[in-house]
A = this chain, B = another copy of it.
Amino acid sequence: MSTIRVGMVGYKFMGKAHSNAYRALPMFFPASLRPEMKAICGRDAAALEAARAQFGWEDAETDWRKLIARDDIDLIDINAPSDAHKQIAIAAAEAGKHLFCEKPLALSLADAREMLDAAERAGVKHMIGFNYRFAPAVQLAKKLIAEGRIGQIYHIRAVFLQDWIIDPEFPLVWRLQKDVAGSGSLGDLGAHSIDLARFLVGEFKEVIGMNETFVKERPLPGSMTGLSASGSAGGERGPVTVDDATLFMARFEGGALGSFEATRFAAGHRCTNAFEINGSKGSIKFDFERMNELEVYFTEDAADVQGFRRVLATDAAHAYMDAWWPAGHTIGYEHTFTHEVLELMTAFAEDRQPTPSFVDGVRCQEVLEAVDRSIAERRWVSVSEL
């Protein structure tokens, strides 16, 4: 196997990000197994063809069942809206295709577990798109914790703050509809924080949350790409059926306390995916808006020069960075996907499961569902309940 032949379902925001990663990989990580961009799949034939040409895919398919049926495809990359993940993933697994699925894995924990079961039964590889793990600064955080340089972890406080729907006239796009998106701020943003917490701190034990929908009705939408959209001409309105903001507290298996907040109503924050971790030997801070940086503090530094260090994680000492540019020459959001695809291709080359896998997708979904239940029942919910 010298290349991995990819068929991708979805061609909007995530489709573009994944396509770019497949294109960048052979140039910057030439030793990696190479993804072949075989076919892109979507329902709107004209828009799909434009995306195919723009992103550089060989073919286009308007029916994902035909995509799955093709012999010349090894891996199905699923970044369609969340409500379509389950059906496609299970069918693809049953067809013996390997899986790379955007988060959240599914609209419910039960669905997510079915997807994992299907993948395991089929013996295929499965990866979930928690791309933020792959920022070099986050990799550095992981390394420092794994090497014991932060000590025993006492605290994590994580927020994912955005402000793209703070205008009440912003339209009711699919991300604001529960039947398509499954969840609002919690599933879209909080899921990333949960995954980072699991990656860095360990498993959640119990949670309790609260949420709110500040703007209850919005204009019906025109069309949407990425996170921008145009409102409807008619001025009709519909109900927002997901949460604008969700907060929760957590206790971890290892004894740490966690504070989490996901909101789309934090004016001034375009994409503040940020966390701080405090341990017995030091602390680390990360903010995605300055994704090349990690702030690090060590209690063992000399008494007169203790302070958070702003580490620019672009040195050769930092993960992935020797593949890019000289020290100090920063990278951006899209690079997290290139590193993610590198892990996926490396897993093929080494014939192992990639990380994060559907197992991580299910674990994340367990926490999401525990938070939802804790909100509905106004009580602490143990993850083991689920």
Do A265 and B155 touch across chains, with their CB atoms under 8 A apart? yes
One complex includes copies of this chain to the number of 4
Do A333 and B330 touch across chains, with their CB atoms under 8 A apart? yes
Decide if A87 is an interface residue (CB 8 Å cutoff).
Answer: no
Decide if A230 is an interface residue (CB 8 Å cutoff).
Answer: no
What is the CB-to-nearest-CB distance from A267 to chain B, in angstroms, rounded to a whole number?
4
Do B270 and A327 touch across chains, with their CB atoms under 8 A apart? yes
Name the residue in A154, A282, A311, A380 with the highest tally of chain B Cβ atoms < 10 Å from its Cβ: A154
Give Cα A19–Cα B325 distance, bound, in whole angstroms. 13
Chain B residues contacting A379 (CB-CB under 8 Å) are 378-379
Chain B residues contacting A266 (CB-CB under 8 Å) are 154-155, 276, 278, 283
Interface size classification for chain A: 35 or more
Return the chain B residue nearest A56 by Cβ: B27
Do B304 and A317 touch across chains, with their CB atoms under 8 A apart? yes
Decide if A220 is an interface residue (CB 8 Å cutoff).
Answer: no
- Beyond A227-B326, A266-B278, whether A307 also contacts B311 by CB under 8 A is yes
Decide if A122 is an interface residue (CB 8 Å cutoff).
Answer: no
Decide if A55 is an interface residue (CB 8 Å cutoff).
Answer: yes
Give Cα A295–Cα B268 distance, bound, in whole angstroms. 11
Stretch touching chain B among A58-66, A75-83, A102-110, A244-252: A244-252
Chain B residues contacting A56 (CB-CB under 8 Å) are 26-27
- Beyond A23-B27, A227-B326, A317-B303, whether A297 also contacts B268 by CB under 8 A is yes
Select A332's contact among B30, B157, B318, B335, beta carbons within 8 Å.
B335
Decide if A289 is an interface residue (CB 8 Å cutoff).
Answer: yes
Decide if A212 is an interface residue (CB 8 Å cutoff).
Answer: yes
Decide if A84 is an interface residue (CB 8 Å cutoff).
Answer: no
Do B257 and A162 touch across chains, with their CB atoms under 8 A apart? no
Decide if A3 is an interface residue (CB 8 Å cutoff).
Answer: no
Give Cα A324–Cα B17 distance, bound, in whole angstroms. 9
Do B226 and A326 touch across chains, with their CB atoms under 8 A apart? yes
Give Cα A278–Cα B299 distance, bound, in whole angstroms. 25
Chain B residues contacting A245 (CB-CB under 8 Å) are 154-155, 257
What is the CB-to-nearest-CB distance from A224 to chain B, in angstroms, rounded to a whole number?
11
Chain B residues contacting A305 (CB-CB under 8 Å) are 140, 144, 296, 298, 309, 311
Do A30 and B13 touch across chains, with their CB atoms under 8 A apart? no
Chain B residues contacting A43 (CB-CB under 8 Å) are none
Give Cα A312–Cα B55 distance, bound, in whole angstroms. 27
Chain B residues contacting A259 (CB-CB under 8 Å) are 247, 259, 261
Decide if A310 is an interface residue (CB 8 Å cutoff).
Answer: yes
A interface residues with partner B (beta carbon < 8 Å): 13, 17, 19-20, 23-24, 26-27, 30, 50, 53-56, 140, 143-144, 154-155, 157, 159, 161-164, 166-167, 208-210, 212, 214, 226-228, 245, 247-249, 251, 255, 257, 259, 261, 263, 265-272, 276, 278-283, 288-292, 295-299, 301, 303-312, 314-318, 324-335, 378-380
